[in-house]
Chains A and B, each alone.
Chain A
Amino acid sequence: MLILECPYCGVMADETDLHGGGEAHLKRYGPGSSDDEFETYLFHRKNPKGVHFERWRHVSGCGKWFHAARNTMTLEVYGTYPAQTTEPPKELVAKIKKKHPEWGGYE
């Protein structure tokens, strides 16, 4: 069972308390963008074997969206952080980098 700490409530919420929102930190391409950019924004998602940044909503708790960094292969959770950001916190990225030097980094 996947268990994430909600950064707003400070409680450990399990998967059944949460709702997955897919890949985090998408850059939105709207009116005025090229067809390729729009297609990428709409349909192309990362599907890494390893470190992944995701959006989750604490649906039966506070109802807020937050982000989580976890490993899709080992299921290890590196950390969670509030959603009011466009990129992962530097400390978290550094922590993952230290653990997995081969990781290509966020992006």
Chain B
Amino acid sequence: MSNAVSALQGASFDGYCKVEEAGLTGMITLRGDLASKGVAKAVKAVTGAAMPGQGEVTEGAKGRVGWMSPDELLLIVDHAEAAAIVEAATKSLGDEHSLVVNVSDARAVYRVKGASCREVIAKLTPADTSVMQPGMLRRTRIAQIPAAFYLEDDETAVLVCFRSVAQYAFDILKDAAQPGGEVF
């Protein structure tokens, strides 16, 4: 099989926050009835994480699960294991009306590290980042592209966007984190 590479192969930038491409990350889209027990069981089985509520992201032994819409979840897992997890989830869901797809190679992931990580993202998005806490996920836009972000901890924000706009996302994040651009 060909050698898997992430969009910008770990590019990073040191501004007043550090912006780095997170490298290979496994991502799985799961669509189905989030209220159903079967879906919760499958999610728990493959990631170890509990079913997230509206606008939440939960963490388990094998990955994170983010709430994307009333019928969609994003599973963030190890890149190498993604295919096996898709298979396991599909099997566990059985007859349940659902869809599980490996979208790892369709996405780019960035980490913004630093005490002002909320501020750097706030420059690019209409979402209120000051209310964001670890465990919350917001799906919105940054500048002209759709993106989702959550906080790993108080000083690390993780931002997910489409791979086709990876360079654009990195460029605007770099710009927002430019030294001398501090707002507060």
- Establish whether residues A11 and B138, one from each chain, have CB atoms under 8 Å apart when the complex forms: yes
- Establish whether residues A9 and B141, one from each chain, have CB atoms under 8 Å apart when the complex forms: no
- Establish whether residues A64 and B141, one from each chain, have CB atoms under 8 Å apart when the complex forms: no
Q: Which residue of B lies closest to A15 (CB)?
A: B126
Binary contact readout A43-70 vs B (1 if CB under 8 angstroms, 0 otherwise): 0000000000000000011111000000
Chain B residues with CB under 8 Å of chain A are 54-55, 68-70, 72, 126-128, 138-141, 146
Q: Which residue of A lies closest to B142 (CB)?
A: A60
- Establish whether residues A62 and B69, one from each chain, have CB atoms under 8 Å apart when the complex forms: yes
Cβ distance B170 to chain A, nearest Cβ, rounded Å: 19
Q: Say yes or no for A39: interface residue by CB 8 A criterion.
A: no
- Establish whether residues A64 and B54, one from each chain, have CB atoms under 8 Å apart when the complex forms: no
Residues of B within 8 A of A11 (CB): 55, 127, 138
Residues 1-38 (chain A) with a chain B CB within 8 angstroms:
8-14, 16-17
Kindly identify which residue among A12, A14, A16, A64 contacts B69, using a CB–CB cutoff of 8 Å: A64
Cβ distance A94 to chain B, nearest Cβ, rounded Å: 27
Q: Give Cα distance in the complex from A104 to B140, angstroms.
A: 37
- Establish whether residues B128 and A62, one from each chain, have CB atoms under 8 Å apart when the complex forms: no
- Establish whether residues B68 and A62, one from each chain, have CB atoms under 8 Å apart when the complex forms: yes
Among B55, B68, B126, B146, chain A packs the most CB atoms within 10 A around the CB of: B126
